A and B are shown apart, each in its own frame.
Chain A
């Protein structure tokens, strides 16, 4: 069993998720209180990761920021899966019909709009905010899952066990739910972790340019944006939020790789 990246990935993700959950109950310092006198403190025993230009504790902000990142990315993946997977199953069940064609051309259309462009469009009209970031990233996730699901489901439709189910008189809906979905869950889980990590990156990018979560909600991307002008003054401000992103994304990618290796050989043996 060669799923070497499963454990480190899971541990990193667990670390970030635990920090985010813990922040609901406790953070070292309150992130809304400013303490200008103690601004730009370097990391020390009190402020493990130092303080920012308003004297806020960086570690506390990172913990609360993790909530935003995880929530935005998770809901966006949920939107992508919730809409994309049924569309993909439907397209596969009606393969090569006009409906399939419509769904696939719709997918191509969404691919013409990178998530950032969608966010820009929404923001231009409705103003910035975390919800807009979720919608933008979520829309971008739909075709990813629709394509993956359609491709996998199409190859399953031609498999003999699906033919056997059809001979047993089962309709497309039951076959999709009973036979197709359970057999593509692995794929979806793996792709889900990948999209989750892309979502974290996208959310950070959007908040960095001011299209994501707005103050006073802390977010990693905005912390980086704020640190930029102060970079020669307090480099640690730019360091830690970036590291937080890297740890989360790395953890999710390792977890995704690990899951794929762990789930895949078993599937092969079962075939």
Chain B
């Protein structure tokens, strides 16, 4: 531990909002120029800790304990002095770059506002500093003039503007609340590099809040693990990551390690290679019509899926990875018959199912789907039994009431819930349970293929591990094939026998998971792999 007094020090901080306790007994410190990683799952109170430091708490919040910045107790400062401090000595960046910028102001205005607020500079000087700051975060003036608006930038570029706002006045402390969670993995790598270089070159202290152990392990000097508003463990990175003491930390590590990209994975199960082909996709093309520009005119069509071919064998688990906008969701929809095909062929059990340019009803029986959002994929007004039995609609002869109920109970039990859960409404379940219900719904028509569209992406790492376990078990017991679509390489590596890599509507590489991950052939695959953060455990 450093002998000099810490830049930031929290002592027994507790927080309640409308009498509901949010944080309890939070004590931590951050030295100047150091990086502190704050780890926790959703609801652990890590964002509220950040907002407490900024003194930007929601209405009805009451904070006790002391938050000292440069030896000054923040909660005793006047609001005007806090405004002086925010943006000049403490900067903050947020999780959601798409909404963190004011849509009606240019990026130049938004960066220079923060400069002119804290520095007595002329308009020209402020403008010059704005340009330098944007250059500093990698947005060259030539490509990104000051009069650009946020909607003209990508998510990663917007996050760079948010960082520019935060560092424009050279703060001593930068708080980054899940700064890369909403970004693609290659973009994430760029932002993390930027944060790291800013931290080293400007000598600022970084409070990095993340749920991702791998990200933290690559950035932090010290770590704090939070759970349900309390700190369960803290110390330097080597100690906590090397020898986690608390059961919760150990569980987090096990769950994360389960979904880690290992460079030397076990040999792939070869049995699947001998199974007959279940799904055969040839030269699939899907286009979105351009925006309607008049009553009869359209902008040119956008080709989201471009001559895609692949196959899935019975009982095989195939992963499809790609970043946002690569066309993987469109491909899912086309396979499910939710979108017309412009060209190509889909065969199921050697039988063509895409004859009418849309997948037939019979094919839908064999293919079911689990979506990403555990909150949005159920009609909130129906009971679970009705939700689960909805796919029975595709059967030629829908079963009677008794048999339907039997089937519902059976699938509920097979995903680890009870038959009684059928009478409940969906809002009575947690995110992980909802994904189990979504899996139950897909199982009820006894399909041979389940498409999992980012099915575990919205789940906390511990819950995610359990759901992946369930999928494993079901595949073994019922001989199911999976098409596992994800932006997350580690998840795909863990669950799939074979992997397809998709970029800009095309499949650029496919092969056995082990082979692709060990010896990626395509430049894009290599880039993806290099960008995926590794859980690095330094010696204690």
Chain A interfacial positions (CB closer than 8 Å to B):
96, 98, 101, 159-161, 163-170, 179, 182-183, 267, 269-271
Contacts and interface: CB of A to CB of B under 8 A. Distances in A.
A271 B379 CA distance: 9
B393 A169 contact: yes
Contacts of A179: 379
A164 B373 contact: no
B180 interface: no
Contact of B377 (A164, A166, A168, A170): A164
30 contacts: A96-B292, A98-B295, A101-B295, A159-B377, A160-B376, A161-B378, A161-B379, A163-B333, A163-B377, A164-B369, A164-B390, A164-B438, A165-B379, A165-B390, A166-B338, A167-B336, A167-B337, A167-B368, A167-B369, A167-B391, A168-B394, A169-B361, A169-B364, A169-B394, A170-B393, A270-B381, A270-B425, A271-B375, A271-B376, A271-B427
Contacts of B337: 167
Contacts of B390: 164-165, 168, 170
A164 B425 CA distance: 17
B372 interface: yes
Interface in B257-305: 289, 292, 295-296
A1 to B, nearest CB: 14
B380 interface: yes
B292 A269 contact: no
B524 interface: no
Nearest to A166: B338
Given A101-B292, A183-B379, A183-B380, A168 B425 contact: no
B427 A159 contact: no
A81 B392 CA distance: 33
A183 B381 contact: yes
Interface of A is mostly: helix
A270 B373 CA distance: 14
B426 A270 contact: yes
B338 A163 contact: yes
Contacts of B295: 98, 101
Interface in B342-376: 361, 364, 368-369, 371-373, 375-376
Given A101-B295, A270-B425, A160 B377 contact: yes
Which 9 pairs of residues, A with B, have the shortest CB-CB distance? Answer: A270-B380, A160-B377, A160-B371, A169-B394, A270-B427, A168-B391, A160-B376, A168-B393, A161-B379
Contacts of B296: 98
Query: Which of A160, A167, A168 neighbours the largest number of chain B CB atoms within 10 Å of its CB?
Result: A167
B441 interface: yes
Query: Which of A96, A101, A163, A164 neighbours the largest number of chain B CB atoms within 10 Å of its CB?
Result: A164
A168 B426 CA distance: 19
Contacts of A166: 336, 338
Contacts of A183: 379-381
Contacts of A164: 369, 371, 377-378, 390, 438, 441
B376 A159 contact: yes
Nearest to B292: A96
A169 B358 CA distance: 12
Contacts of A267: 380
A179 to B, nearest CB: 5
B244 to A, nearest CB: 35
A178 to B, nearest CB: 8
Nearest to B377: A160
A167 B391 CA distance: 7
Contacts of B375: 271
Given A101-B295, A182-B381, 11 more contacts: A160-B377, A161-B377, A161-B378, A161-B379, A163-B369, A164-B390, A165-B379, A169-B394, A170-B390, A270-B426, A270-B427
A161 B393 CA distance: 15
Query: Which of B364, B373, B377, B390 neighbours the largest number of chain A CB atoms within 10 Å of its CB?
Result: B390
Contacts of B441: 164
A100 to B, nearest CB: 9
A91 B191 CA distance: 42
A156 B192 CA distance: 36
Interface in B307-353: 333, 336-338
Given A182-B381, A183-B380, A270-B427, A167 B364 contact: yes
A101 B425 CA distance: 37
Nearest to B368: A167
A164 B373 CA distance: 12
Interface string B387-398: 000111110000
Contacts of A165: 379, 390
A170 B389 CA distance: 13
A96 B291 CA distance: 8
Nearest to A185: B381
Contacts of A269: 427
A36 B438 CA distance: 76
A169 B379 CA distance: 16
Nearest to B389: A168
B338 A167 contact: yes
A159 B373 CA distance: 9
Nearest to B394: A169
A160 B373 contact: yes
B436 to A, nearest CB: 15
A96 B337 CA distance: 20
Interface in B445-465: none
A78 to B, nearest CB: 24
A163 B371 contact: yes
Query: Which of A101, A165, A270 neighbours the largest number of chain B CB atoms within 10 Å of its CB?
Result: A270
B42 to A, nearest CB: 16
A170 B390 CA distance: 9
Contacts of A270: 380-381, 425-427
A267 B380 CA distance: 8
A271 B381 CA distance: 10
A268 to B, nearest CB: 10
A231 to B, nearest CB: 49
A164 B372 CA distance: 12
Interface string B111-140: 000000000000000000000000000000
